[in-house]
A and B are shown apart, each in its own frame.
Chain A
């Protein structure tokens, strides 16, 4: 089986889809993200990113969330190759 590519939210290109695999941050951050619907197993789409380490915007279920660069850099995603 082909090994799927893993990368952080900041490394993804816009319009790419993927599944969250790991949130590599403190418990507080992980809980906050989970409550907003970002947790391992969740399918997300990257919508846009501001240049020069600006925030990343993603689509989760029906809503759009903006995540600061530092936080987005700790969210690992497995790219959806299909």
Chain B
């Protein structure tokens, strides 16, 4: 038996789904599409049933790829839980009427029930139940209120198969129902609503956005540095370092196995940054350097998401984004890219046209530094002074804009207009923020740790076989001739294809000038995505577009690297 959660976007479907699901959801793409469908199980009496979180839709007569997928899934459903936003009955009931026509047993969850009170809405839900002819239960998915009642009424779901109406008839019916069940009392806007409306006006919206952005960076830096200084560094220095020293002694301080596990001793000591052993640098980089920033970044981003701020950023930036051939919503995958490119490339799925997806994905992989790279940029380039950090970010931003303008003019296709719903601000429940953060951290660690380990193993082997020497000779004209870097810098540039953070660490060991280090970091950012991103881009964009994007990356990095070499 398949139970489907169906409703408009932004009605709390996802929260309801996680309340009902007994086991962690598995997400898979609907066959032949890039639309992800979360699926899980729940207990109904002594029966175990499948529940599916159907993509948010406004209508069954599809107007987007998500709605097309939703309409197809609904055809095979056994029971529908129609999730309705109680604060916007009119639009939500339009879909409800269409669902009733399908003849699939259905019940209605009148969600966001708590919001109706502070909006001055009084809904007679028993009357709504009588008028619709299927059970109606008020729920507050984020707090869990009403969920038990909802589950207990699932067996009462009714199949009506109401006669098909035209859209005008449906709207008229909806109007009639709303008129009978809902009364609106006037009341003043809450401060949250005032803030919500003001933050999509040019003024004070733009100053607010700049303030939010600045504060986010300060808070991320503060949390990241705090975690490093008070948690991770003490752990590695006081607990892990003695263990590694003992291991090093036990392995005889040298030899291949020693180099693989502990790495080379720097001045007779284990050095977490430069030793390049799997158990030293291999653990220190993902946990001690990058994880603190990833944690801080996803914490802040998660709060901004759940508060409902991001769609407002999309509106404020729509203008700017249209100049580079995409619409404002593209800012959301782009912001995600500041954390990790893999989820960012996946998030480009929200964009409707292939052209937009290609432009945004390419720009992310060239101009947006991921948290791993940023942690290293701040940590190593920052040692030479803040102005060099500013140059690094400034050049990336400039490249992002200029390349965007070029791509807009050269990539064929169209960019649809922005059309999005702006959700009201909400105070996000702590457990929702925490569980999302946890899932993202687990994803990061699962991705980063094995790749860093593999990378370090590969480095040790390649070094033992003198492969880097050979590559350095071949790549010398570009690396030294164009970019003005020492020939040994080619090794980190190649390792950058595995993990960016490791490569910056390797650059650091080369005694570069500040200018060379900036160029090195920028080349690492642009020349090639990390392996995980490369694979995801190939899957999402197709091989032809992946190769095109890779070509653009190489070309951009050669042009920018040569220019910078002349300037810095």
Contact = CB atoms under 8 A, between A and B. Distances in A.
Contacts of B89: 61-62
Contacts of A34: 59, 167
B311 interface: yes
B397 interface: no
Contact of B318 (A35, A37, A68): A68
Contacts of B327: 68
Contacts of A37: 88, 90-91, 94
B419 A48 contact: no
Interface in A14-41: 14, 28, 31-37, 39
Contacts of A64: 196-197, 200, 421-422, 424
Contacts of B61: 31, 35
A11 B311 CA distance: 24
24 contacts: A32-B64, A34-B59, A37-B94, A47-B200, A48-B201, A50-B316, A51-B319, A53-B319, A54-B315, A57-B200, A61-B91, A62-B85, A62-B89, A62-B121, A63-B87, A63-B91, A64-B422, A65-B421, A66-B328, A66-B419, A68-B318, A68-B327, A68-B416, A71-B419
Interface string B194-207: 00110011100100
A40 to B, nearest CB: 9
B418 interface: yes
Interface in B375-425: 416-422, 424
Contact of A67 (B91, B314, B419, B424): B419
B94 A50 contact: no
Interface in A46-82: 47-55, 57, 60-71
A80 B315 CA distance: 26
A67 B417 contact: yes
Interface string B310-353: 01001110110000000110000000000000000000000000
**Which of A52, A62, A65 has its CB near the most chain B CB atoms (within 10 A)?**
A62
**Which of B121, B171, B418 has its CB near the most chain A CB atoms (within 10 A)?**
B418
A66 B417 contact: no
Contacts of B94: 35, 37
Q: Summarize A's interface: helix, strand, loop or mixed.
A: mixed
Contacts of B417: 67-71
Given A28-B63, A48-B200, A36 B419 contact: yes
B58 interface: yes
A51 B202 contact: yes
A60 B419 CA distance: 13
Nearest to A69: B417
Contact of A47 (B87, B91, B197, B319): B197
B119 interface: yes
A51 B63 CA distance: 28
Contacts of B419: 32-33, 36, 65-68, 71
A77 to B, nearest CB: 17
Interface string B545-562: 000000000000000000
Nearest to A54: B319
A61 B182 CA distance: 12
Interface in B275-323: 311, 314-316, 318-319
A48 B204 CA distance: 11
B316 A61 contact: no
A61 B88 contact: yes
Contacts of B88: 37, 61-63
A50 B167 CA distance: 32
A35 to B, nearest CB: 4
Given A28-B63, A55-B418, A71-B419, A66 B202 contact: no
Contact of A35 (B59, B315, B319): B59
Nearest to A64: B422
Contacts of B167: 34
Given A62-B87, A68-B419, 16 more contacts: A31-B59, A32-B64, A32-B419, A36-B421, A37-B88, A39-B171, A47-B197, A51-B202, A57-B200, A61-B90, A63-B421, A63-B422, A64-B421, A66-B314, A68-B318, A71-B418
A54 B314 CA distance: 11
A61 B87 CA distance: 9
Nearest to A33: B419
A55 B421 contact: no
